[in-house]
Structure formats: structure tokens, C-alpha cells
Homo-oligomer: A and B are copies of this chain.
Amino acid sequence: MIVDCHGHYTTAPKELEEYRKRQLENPGNPAKGALKISDDQIRESLEGAQLRIQRERGTDLTIFSPRAMGMGHHLGNETTSRHWSEHCNDLIHRVCTLYPKNFAGVCQLPQSPGVRPQNSIAELERCVKQLGFIGCNVNPDPSGGHWSDPPLTDKWWYPLYEKMVELDVPAMVHVSGSCNPNFHATGAHYINGDTTAFMQFITSDLFKDFPKLKFIIPHGGGAVPYHWGRYRGLAQDMKRPPLKELVLGNVYFDTCVYHQAGIDLLLKVIPIENILFASEVVGAVRGIDPETGHYYDDTKRYIEASSLSAADKQKLFEGNARKVYPRWKPQGG
């Protein structure tokens, strides 16, 4: 079985964006408002996209969350963010209900800059307990590129982490769009968010406080595996424990790295137990690589072309996901 741990609903029916547009035009409106999308519309939005690609590439299940760029925590206010998150998460729930073999749900959280993460707990709990979600996305920078909130290792975040541990769900550390003209969203802000979070983890005792807390750092861990020697050396200079002991019991990288050499490096330097298969389809890079004739984001090909043993491939494609997402229960087939 092949589990893709990183997919967003980037192809949602246009009514979703229209709702968001109306909402942001009037952020003072306390009413949640309705979102009308039919089951057929949902089916249509997936059949030609994520489901087709699952079939074509031979993957089985996508751990699926709302569009990351769409979270837009820097837009609107705490109330708009809550309503928006509820609608987005409900839509993911409908996807998972329509296609229980193909998708498992992960929620976005109703974050806002300056708003305590504990205010996201109610939505996390609703998604996990009522909607059967198996994880959440945590935005380390709700300001959208200004990085004005405390680091992920600050006690500011601890109430949310307590709930994550209680519910036994991991978080993918995933920024949303950037409103800072310095940062291209998918080309800089995403990757910087990943690198930044990892370095925050190295310099803190977060995982002493929460030994069971689990984070997935997407996009192959940002810059981290490429600079693995730097991170090992920095930890050593700071008299911290080796990275394996310091963070690798709690931190996982996905395989959203869109060329063979990058995947080969990831598989070489990071222990296989810490790598989860992912492609982020349909996502940031949609074209065909003229050097290979295949889609850049067809990451399964890179894994298959690597020198991993069959046992290690099984861990990467399925076994590790079962450990990281303990609430995931495969449905039938």
C-alpha cells in the first residue's frame, strides 16, 4: 500500500474561493454564512485530478488537507479564520466520506497572528473526534511572512501541543501564503518555514516537554537534509545531543523533493524511519520535467529509482505513516 502523506484540496469547486472572497470583503460580519457545494461537484473536482493521478501513479491513499496557500491566516480576523477553517475542514470531511479508501483527513487550524494557539483547540478536537481526522497542519507563521508570533518552541504553543498529544495526532508544519514581497510563497516562504521550524526544534527542549509530540516537516525538510552536516555541527557546537536523539524521535520529513538527486540525498542522510512518502499533488509544481519526460512531482518514480531495499520502501510508503498517524485506520480494500 502506498500512502501519500501530503495532499491539499487545491482543486476545490470555485464556490469555495467565492465564499472566501465574500468573507474577506466584509471581515466585520459576524455571520458564518453558507457554502453550497454538491457531492457531484466534489466528485468532479477530484476525479480528473487527485483520483486520476492516484490511479496513474499507483498510490492508494492521500492524507488530505485544505489548500495550504488558501489557509491565509494573515487575512481577516480570528472569527473569519474560524469560519473559513470550519468550512474548509468540512469539505475535506466530505471528500473523505465520499472516498474513504482514497483520502484520510487532516485539518487546517483557525490561526491568526497574535491569537493564542489554544484558540485553535476546539476546531482540532471537532475535526479529530467528530470528523475522524488523523492530523492537523500548524502554520509556524500566521502573519504570512512577517514572522511576528513566537517560535514553535515557545510555551505560547503548549496548550495546542497538549491537545495534540492527548488526541494522538501529529502536525505538519506548513506555512500558508506570503504577504511579504520578499518571499515567493512556494519558492521561498514554504522552504524557509521548513528550515526555520527544524532549527527551532534543535535549539529547544520541546521534545523533553512533549516526548510524544510529532511533527512532519514537508518539502523534504526544507534545506535541512542538504545541510545535514551543518545542523549536526551546530547542535554539537551548542553542546546539544546528537540530532538523532534530539529531534528524530519526533520529527519526520516528507519526500516532496522534485528531482532524483534531491531524493537520493534525502534517503542517504536521513534515517528511513523518519521519512514519509509524499508528492503534494496537485500542488506547487505542475509541469513535466523535460530532462525526464515525467512530472516533477511524481516523487514515487524517484523513490523507485533509488537504491532503497524493499523493506525500506515499505516503511517509507506505508509503515512509517502507520506509526506517525496512529488514528489512521485503513478503510476496506
Q: Please list the residues of chain A having a beta carbon within 8 angstroms of any beta carbon in chain B.
A: 140-141, 145-147, 149-151, 154, 180-184, 186-188, 191-192, 195-196, 199-200, 202-203, 219-220, 222-223, 225-234, 236-237, 257-262, 264-265, 268-269, 284-287, 289, 296-297
Min CB distance, A49 to chain B, in Å?
16
Are A227 and B220 interface neighbours, CB within 8 A? yes
- Asked if A231 meets B180 with Cβ closer than 8 Å, knowing A222-B223, A223-B222, the reply is no
Q: What are the residues of chain B within 8 A of A151 when measuring CB–CB?
A: 181-182
Query: A147 — nearest CB in chain B belongs to which residue?
Result: B182
Q: List 5 A-B contacts (CB under 8 A).
A: A141-B182, A184-B199, A223-B223, A225-B226, A232-B259
| CB-based contact A192/B196 at 8 Å | yes
Shortest CB-to-CB span from A76 to chain B, Å, is 22
Interface-centre pick from A141, A146, A188, A260 (highest chain B CB count, 10 A): A188
Whether A265 and B200, one on each chain, are in contact in the complex, defined by CB atoms closer than 8 angstroms, is no
**Do B262 and A227 have beta carbons less than 8 Å apart?**
yes
* A16→B226 CA distance, assembly (Å): 34
Known: A147-B146, A226-B257. A196 touches B183 (CB 8 A): yes
Cβ of A286: which chain B residues have Cβ within 8 Å of it?
A: 233, 237
- Contacts A141-B182, A147-B146 given: A258-B237 contact, CB under 8 Å? no
Measured CB to CB, the closest approach of chain B to A245, in angstroms, equals 13
| Chain B residues in 8 Å Cβ range of A237 | 285-287
Q: Which residue of B lies closest to A287 (CB)?
A: B236
